[in-house]
Amino acid sequence: MSGTLTPKVLVVGGGPGGYVAAIRAGQLGLDTVLVEADRLGGTCLIRGCIPSKALIHAASLFAEVREAATEKGRFGIHLDTAPRLDFPETRGWKDGIVDQLSGGVAGLLRKAKVRVVHGWARFSDAKSCLVETAEGVVTVHAEHVILATGSRPVELPFLPFGDRVLSSTEALSLDAVPDRLVVVGAGYIGLELGTAFAKMGAKVSIVEAQPHILPLYDRTLTAPVTRWLEKAGVDVHLGAKALGMVDDGLRIATVDGDEIVLPADKVLVTVGRAPLTEGWGLEEMALAMDGRFVKVDDRCATSTTNVWAIGDLVGEPMLAHKASAQGEMVAEIIAGKSRRFDPVAIPAVCFTEPEIVSVGIDVADERHSVGQFPFQANGRALSMDAGHDGGFVRTIAEETTGRIVGIQAVGQHISELSGEFAVLIEMGATLDDVAAIIHAHPTLSEAAHESGLKALGHALHI
């Protein structure tokens, strides 16, 4: 493909924000072009959310089978031979899921009549860019531009990516499970991947500069994760700082000021992500900035008329589902609908062991009623051995009105309740509302019901 295109809408970036924006624009009858330099699906589908969750699932299954092969066994299940992990085969299964979903995105774009241009876009002004494709240079002049360029892993200057130092991207493409893995950064990405590799047999150490893991969550929520890490033999160094690589591994400064070396075959650096603002001509577009992010209003409009920005490019939370919601909204605004981005709450999930969900506010004061219900008292949790790891659901509501303003939970498979939590808050449900909802038995969702009852002062099962 070469030549000039003049669409109504140009979307730059084929991740969960960009491809959703393009699909919705196409559905609304807008002539749309999507430019993507890599595979369709973006970081989330290709190098992040999806492949990491596949790896986490495989690792958990391997750990379950390995436990059944011990003398103690598991649930009365005993195996005479320990399982063997063929990691390249596991990686192939993971890659197959990515391929299927990426191909599905391509099909959805075709169905919506979106033209996809594979190449790197470089803007010469706010509405014009050149795209270098394998077949030649394509010039695109658009009436509207949606910037959805995403983010990239933050690289530490003293731990540049390469050789033994990995970003999450490389960690998901390893040929083998490393014998010794050090993870720098105890946020959700580092703990998710560190947990998975520990389950697959790696000796994992974690280095975190803050005084506790998952610094954005309160310690009540993270305590079950801490206990699992201790039980699994994962060494966690809190208040510690990575200093650099040496022959044997990673040199760190401990909280006491001592310097030690953590043996490592690989070092995974997960200290955050930064918006991808370089290399595509941001400086040519005259866009106002908000720190390192592109500044937008509540419609995701930038300071330049008919230029929009969504997803990781515009700030926290840097979550795929936020980007998708913004992309859908912007497409509808361009089509003439009246929309603005004003969610009451955006759910955040950590796929650690056990999982953590947080929606809405997570700090209560005298203005709130709080109800917390343990999974230890939930029949479904006990029936799948998920009731004794300290899991719970906590509901926070306004004292005067009973309106639910926050729900947090930690426990196995709790991510599947994030939708219910978000709906309760987004729809303005009260404690009386959730008390009146009949939840199926036996399910984990009953803990959401009971935590609401607890906040009202009359939980039934504790």
Task: Give residues with Cβ within 8 angstroms of 281, minimum separation 6.
Answer: 121, 122, 123, 124, 129
Sign of the alpha-carbon torsion through 12, 13, 17, 22: positive
Task: Give residues with Cβ within 8 angstroms of 384, minimum separation 6.
Answer: 412, 413
Burial grade of 366 (CB within 10 A; 0-12, 13-18, 19 or more): exposed
Token pair recorded at residue 374: 């343990």
Residue-wise burial string across 338-363, b where 16 or more C-beta atoms lie within 10 A, e elsewhere: ebebeeebbbbbbbbbbbbbbbbebe
Terminal-residue alpha carbon distance, the chain: 66
Residue (of 236, 211, 216) closest to 226 by Cα position: 236
How far is it, in rounded angstroms, from Cα 85 to Cα 102? 26
Using alpha carbons only, what angle is made at residue 325 by residues 321 and 330, rounded to the nearest 5 degrees?
145
Which of 413, 441, 449, 461 is catalytic? The answer is 441
Residue (of 404, 413, 408, 418) closest to 443 by Cα position: 413
Q: Quick count: other Cβ atoms within 10 Å of Cβ 337?
A: 10
Residues 456 and 449: beta-carbon distance below 8 Å: no
Residue 84: strand, helix, or coil? coil
Residues 323 and 296: beta-carbon distance below 8 Å: no
Residues 347 and 321: beta-carbon distance below 8 Å: yes
Does the annotation mark 237 as catalytic? Answer: no
How far is it, in rounded angstroms, from Cα 133 to Cα 120? 7
How far is it, in rounded angstroms, from Cα 109 to Cα 23? 6
Residue 300: strand, helix, or coil? coil
Q: Quick count: other Cβ atoms within 10 Å of Cβ 404?
A: 29
Q: Which DSSP string corresponds to 348-396?
A: EEE-SSSEEEEEE-----TTEEEEEEEGGG-HHHHHTT-SSS--EEEEE
So which residues are the catalytic ones? 441
